[in-house]
Amino acid sequence: MSSGKPSCGETMTPGARASKPRALVVRRHHLLVRISHWLNMPLLLGLILSGISIYWASPIYQHDPNPTTGSFDPFADAGIWICAHVPWLHHYADPANWVYNHGSLGPYMLAFALRFHWLCAYLFMLNGLGYLAGLCIGGGWRSLLPRLSDARGVLQMTRYYLSLPYTILARRRPIHPNFRTKYNPLQRLAYFVVAVAGFLAVATGWAIHKPAQLSWLTAIFGGFDNARVWHFWLMVFFIVFVIPHVVLVIADGWDTLRSMITGWSAKFKRPEVSDHEL
């Protein structure tokens, strides 16, 4: 019979087992949430590209025609400036449409852009319903609701992310603020705001598309012209959001990206942390 004592070859240093961190594998994202998340990328890209082509036909922001170029559209001004200051673009055939040629489906494509925009819009709405279903079925909606206690955590995470480039360049180990929640407070605020922005984008889109039939909705946004302004800046918001979102996911580590692919997250527990604390 074994005495229960380690043999000579099994000598253990006191606390050796306790010092080894344990991985806690948890389910993080429902399948519908993951599918809708990845589908949002091509759908938003299609909406933005077609939306800018629609914008070309009737710019929201206009100024008096430039006496030299005849331009009245800030996007056209930008294209003319780029072609004038970038050496290899000096002989570009249509400087006023440079931005539209490179940041949209192209000018002179209003009919196709409208049809494609609404195709993407209907798919975007269906995808949003799938996302909401995934949140409800998986219970993830609770993690997205902002809390009054999040203000301090938002500041901590903002300070962490802003200092991260310096920390990396200085070859220091970044110390990530510790939160015992699915999302840190800054993520929770950002994802909640994105969900609200998505709802407003759909609402303003319908207000523009059916201003007579949905006059009450158009009136909520201050009329047809103001609804277009809302819709335009919501587009800008999504463009601006994507860049830091990708950067911060990378900064958060492989586990964050993997969890949106597989649905599972592996977090390491400190040996002194008990199970009931997680």
Average pLDDT over residues 269-274: 42
Task: Name the band, by pLDDT with cuts 50, 70 and 90, for residue 153.
Answer: confident
User: What local confidence, expressed as pLDDT, does residue 183 receive?
Assistant: 76
Helix (H, G, I), strand (E, B) or coil at 219: helix
For residue 167, is pLDDT > 50?
A: yes
Is the pLDDT score of 275 beyond 90?
no
Q: What is the pLDDT of residue 26?
A: 65
More confident residue, 259 or 130: 130
CA–CA gap between residue 176 and residue 163 (Å, rounded)? 11
So what's the pLDDT on residue 22? 60
pLDDT of residue 10: 45
Please give the mean pLDDT across all residues of the chain. Answer: 83
Q: Give the Å distances, CA to CA, from 159 to 145, 163, 169, 245, 257.
A: 22, 6, 16, 16, 22
CA distance 189 to 170: 30
Amino acid 246: pLDDT: 80
Q: Give the 3-state secondary structure of residue 15.
A: coil
Q: What's the mean pLDDT in 177-202? A: 85
- The confidence score (pLDDT) of residue 267 equals 63
Task: For residues 108-135, give the mean pLDDT.
Answer: 94
Q: How confident is the model at residue 265 (pLDDT cuts 50, 70, 90)?
A: confident
